[in-house]
Every structure is written in C-alpha cells, then in structure tokens.
Amino acid sequence: MRGGKKRYYDVGLEPRRDARGRLLGVAGYMREITSRKQMEERLRQAHDELEMRVEQRTSELQDAYGKLEAEINERKHTEQELKRVMTAISQSGDSVLIVDTDGIVLYANPAFFSMSGYSAGETLGRNVSSLKSHLSDDDLYETVRATVKNGRSWTGLIAGKKKSGSTYEVEATVSPVRDDEDRVTNYVTVGRDVTEKKKLERQLRQAQKMEAIGTLAGGIAHDFNNIIAAIIGFAEMAIDDTDENTQIRRFLEQILKSGIRGRDLVKQILSFSRGSDIERRPVQVSLIVKEALKLLRASIPATIEIQQDIDPDSGIVMADATEIHQVVINLVTNAAHAMRSKGGILKVAVCNTAGGVDEGSGPAALGPGRYLRLTVSDTGQGMDKGIMERIFDPFFTTKEKGEGTGLGLSVVHGIVQSHEGVITVRSKPGRGSTFEVYLPTIEEPCSSDEDLGTIPEGRESILLIDDEETLIEIGTEMLERLGYSVTATTNSIEALRIFKKRPHSFDLVITDQAMPRMSGLELAREMISVRDDIPIILCTGFSEAVSKEQVPNLGIREFLLKPLVRKEMAEAIRRVLDGAKVPVRTVRAGQIQGKE
C-alpha cells in the first residue's frame, strides 16, 4: 500500500524440475492489477445499480400495467353499462327525447317514433316546437322552459301531435343535463303515452256521473212522473171541454203532446240508467223530424236559415221515438253551433233510398233493402280529417270547455247502431259538414189516430188510492167521466179501513205503490186477506220500486207504469173487469206515434 492507497497484484509461482523430477527451483511473477480491480468494482457497482434500476422500473411498469388493466376493465365496464343503458332506452316503452339548449332534437328512442309516427329522419335535427299539438296552453310550455332553465325538473301532462295530425297525451318529465363544469348542455324528456289511460279515466268519471244521474233519476222519477201525470190528465180533460178548431184547443193539444214527450223522456232516462232495453214500435220519422225542428226553431239564431225537404212517404222505421227525436236534436243543434258566429244555411232532408253496393247510393256498410235517409247539413266551419276520425268517440268535443260533454255524437252513433242503421259524415274545413243517417224501413204501418180507437167506459165501482191530492183529483174526474163510481182517498190506512168496512161494495181497486205508512203492495196483501177475489191494479212511477215478479201471487191483475193517458187507463180497467184471472201484465206508458 503506497500513499495510503490499496493496490492489487496478480502473483504466480511455478516449480522447475529436472528430467528425473527433482525440484530445481521456483519461477514466479507479479504484476499490478489495481486498475483492473477498480474497473471490476465499478462494473459491479454499475451492475448492482442497473439491477436496482431494472427492479425499480419493473416495479413501475408493473404498477403502470396494473393501473392500465384497471382502467381497461373500468372502461369495459363503463362501455357495458352504457350499452345496457342504451339498450334499455331503445327498448323502453317510455319515449326518450334529448334536445340541445336551442331545442334541436339530438336523440329520440324507438318508443318516441312509434308514439309520434315520425321517423328518425323527420325528427333528428328539427326543433322540438314543431312537435307541439297546440292543444296545451302556451303558458304551459313557458312554465316548462322556465323550470328547466332554472336547473329544475318539470313533471306534468303534455299533449303531443302525431304525424297523422291526431293528438296524444303524455305524462312527461323534462330535466336539464349538466357537464363536469355544472353547465346545462342538454334537456332530456322522458314520456309515457297515457292517451288510453286518460280516456278510460274520463270514461270512468263520466260513468260515475251517469250512475249518479241514474240514481238521481230513480229518486225523482216518481215525483216527476206525478207532475207529468197531472199535466197530461188536466190537458186531456181540458181538451174534452174545449171546442175543436179553436186556438185554445191547439194550445192544449201541444201541452198534451209535450207532457207525453216528457213522460217518454223520463222513461228513456230510467231505461238508460238501468241499462234496460228500450221499447220500440213502428214510427214515422218524418213527423218526428218536423216536430223536433218546430221545437228547435226558437233556439236557433235568426242568422241561420233552416231549409226542409221532408218526404212524408219516406217510410216507417221500427224505433223508439224518443231516441230518434234525440238523434235529430243532437245533429241539428251541432249544425247550428257550427254556424253560430257567421250564420248560414241548415238543411234537413228525409227521403227513402235503396241500400247495398249495387242497389243504391248509400254507404257500402248498408245491406240490401230500403232505408230511410235523414240528412243534416250546414255551411259552417267544417272539419279536417283528424277531427272526423274521432268525431264519434265518447267525450271527444271541439267545443270550448263548458259548452259540451263530447257525448252528443257518440250517443247518436250508439242509437243509430242499436237500430241497425249507419251514420256517415262528409266535411272539409271552411265548407261545412253533412251527416247522413240510414235506418232500415219496415212495411208495417205505424200507429195513427184510428189506432187510438174509442175509449171504453163502464159503470162499476172503483176504490182509488194515491197519496198525491192532484192525482186523486184527476183520477176521480177521469174515471167519473168514463162512467164509473169512484171512492177516492190519499191515505192507504184509510183506504184499508173503507175496504174492510164494505169489501163487496167495490168491483176494482186502483192503488199507487209508493205511499207513506203502507205501500201499495202491503195494502194489496191486506185487501186480499179480506176478499181474495178483489181485482187490483197497481200503479207506480218508478218500476225499480216493485217488479213484475213480486206481484203475481198477490192477485194483482195489472201493473201500470205512470204516467198514463186516459185511454191506457180505460183499457186496463176493462181488461181486468171483463177478463178472467190471468197472469199479471206490465203495461208501459204508450206513445202517440204518427200524429203531428
């Protein structure tokens, strides 16, 4: 070691021997290898450092690979999630619509295309305002815009417009979409088509209203029928006491006719509320149309001219006169409403035509045969194709809120169909509308004045019971004019006392059903227990209070539905007094048909 520095030497010794192998000496060498050793040391250090760096880099690469693998897995998971979301959106039954901040449609799923009728090419890139139906108030759209621009979601009902022009209702939620910097970049609308649901809800509400009306109708039918009975009864007796061909006589006949129409209307309301069948008979529609037009003339503005072309030989139809009257009233009223602002011409025509594709000019839906055609046309605002497609739908109306229920034409359509008829409509915007009703005619003649015949009379003794003083007065006067001896009372308990005192003094008992303290049925039972052969006629203003099945075993011979005209009561009395004991009959209040 020189100067304190370590030095390295390479030393070597080699023995020298003779030929006999004896050691002669040792040869050796020595050379300094310090530089080489230093180089080797530096190489070793460099190797160790390299291995360390390799290990470090390997570790870094392993970490980077792990991160990359995790990132790849996360990206795959995100892509799978995105794919699931897009698949769910594309297959969702709810519509999804994405627009930018200017309202331009960027995306719409298949449910939206199916609901709206538009294709992707007709939707993407368009402004969402082009899809508005304009049935919703502009204030509603402004509320939606203001809500989402303030960063909040809006939920509510929106009316949309289909490509066909028809509308649909959507329960929609409109929400803002934000980027990483919390800026609103898009708006997404998720909607569910609730058109049918809302339609069913409206039908349910209307059905509940109709049920309530039915309940109310049943409740007031008895009292209302008693009022109508008084009108009919006094009108008939006043007509008897008035000279023919006088103005008063004509007025009284109109009162009688209106009373009968009111009675038939109550009957129709009750039949409708209970879902029972309407009684039909041969009617002359031309006369019903004339009567309806006379009734409506006063309510139609003078700016509307009514033109009539009514063929008196247009034919006889098997129908319910009140329902046909309702058809005419609805069609004429709608036609007048279409011209209410500017006036116009309202034409009503009735004629006979042939049905079948090969026979006549009627619609193809008509089968072969003869039909009565009722035509109601106007020169009003008309309708487009979209409205005409829905014109007979229940609860659909083009009238302002509060002006109509949307039931008028639906009811007309139902009545025509129930009469095995057909109704058609032709219309163009600005050119008015024409409705045509086709009803099959029959050969059977309708009732006429001759059918009314003579009113039968009698001389028997009758016990009359009704809790209404007015009806007792009318009934007593009517029966006495027919020749009968009448004992009348408004008290059922008093009636039973009179009958028990002299049961064989009466040939017939006529009693109302709905009376305080003792009903007509209860009174009949008591009287039968006193005299089992006493003929009894039971009258009621509301047939649900008692049914035909309740009375056969009580000896009741006739079951009459009030109010009755004199002839109906007179004929029922003679059937009971002149005939043997027969099963109970139910006689409904008839209608004067074919009488103008």
Residue type at 410 in one-letter notation: S
pLDDT digits (tens, 9 = 90+) for 340-391: 888 899 999 999 988 754 444 456 567 788 899 999 999 988 887 767 666 7
Grade residue 573 by pLDDT with cuts at 50, 70 and 90.
very high
Q: Which residue has the higher pLDDT, 183 or 450?
A: 183
Residues 523 and 465 sit within 8 Å (Cβ to Cβ): yes
Q: Check: CB of residue 284 under 8 Å from CB of residue 446.
A: yes
pLDDT tier, 135 (very low <50, low <70, confident <90, very high otherwise): low
pLDDT of residue 147: 86
Question: Cβ–Cβ contacts within 10 Å for residue 335, how many?
Answer: 26
Strand partners, 441: 317
pLDDT number for residue 203: 73
State the pLDDT confidence band at 570, using cuts at 50, 70 and 90. very high
User: For position 273, what pLDDT does the model report?
Assistant: 56
Summarize pLDDT for 253-272 with one digit per residue, the tens.
888 888 887 777 777 666 65
In one-letter notation, the amino acid at residue 475 is G
CB 400 within 8 A of CB 341: no
At residue 75 the predicted structure's pLDDT band, cuts being 50, 70 and 90, is: confident
Q: Taking a C-beta distance cutoff of 8 angstroms, is the pair 281, 318 a contact?
A: yes
Instruction: Write the CB contacts of 104 (distance below 8 Å, at least 6 apart in sequence).
Output: 125, 126, 127, 128
Verify cis geometry, omega within 30 degrees of 0, for the bond prior to 301: no
Per-residue pLDDT tens digits for 426-451: 888 888 899 999 999 988 665 544 34
Going by C-alpha positions, the residue among 257, 270, 291, 219 that lies closest to residue 565 is 257
Four-CA torsion 488, 489, 493, 495, nearest 10 degrees: -10
Q: What is the pLDDT of residue 150?
A: 83
Nearest to 462 by CA among 511, 513, 497: 511
Amino acid at residue number 415: I
Going by the DSSP 8-state scheme, the letter that residue 518 receives in this structure is: S
- Please write down the long-range contacts of 413-416, taking CB distance under 8 Å and 24 or more positions apart: 415/323, 415/324, 415/326, 415/327, 416/327
- Phi, psi for 312 (deg, rounded to 5): -65, -20
Say whether pLDDT at 559 is over 50: yes
- Round to whole Å and give the CA distance between 293 and 376: 11
The sheet carrying 508-512 orders its strands as 485-489, 461-465, 508-512, 536-540, 556-561, 585-587
**In the predicted model, is pLDDT for residue 275 greater than 60?**
no
Contact between residue 577 and residue 507 where contact means Cβ atoms under 8 Å apart: yes
Query: What would the DSSP string read from start to end of 461-516?
Result: EEEEE-S-HHHHHHHHHHHHHTT-EEEEES-HHHHHHHHHHSGGG-SEEEEES--S
The 10s digit of each residue's pLDDT in 196-222 is 888 788 777 767 766 776 677 666 766
* Residue 55 reports pLDDT greater than 50: yes
CA distance 122 to 503: 89
303, exposed or middle or buried, with CB in 10 Å at 0-12, 13-18, 19+? exposed
Computed over every residue of the chain, the mean pLDDT equals 80
Q: Are 14 and 26 in contact (CB under 8 A)?
A: yes
Q: What is the pLDDT of residues 319-338, one digit of tens each?
A: 888 788 888 988 998 888 88
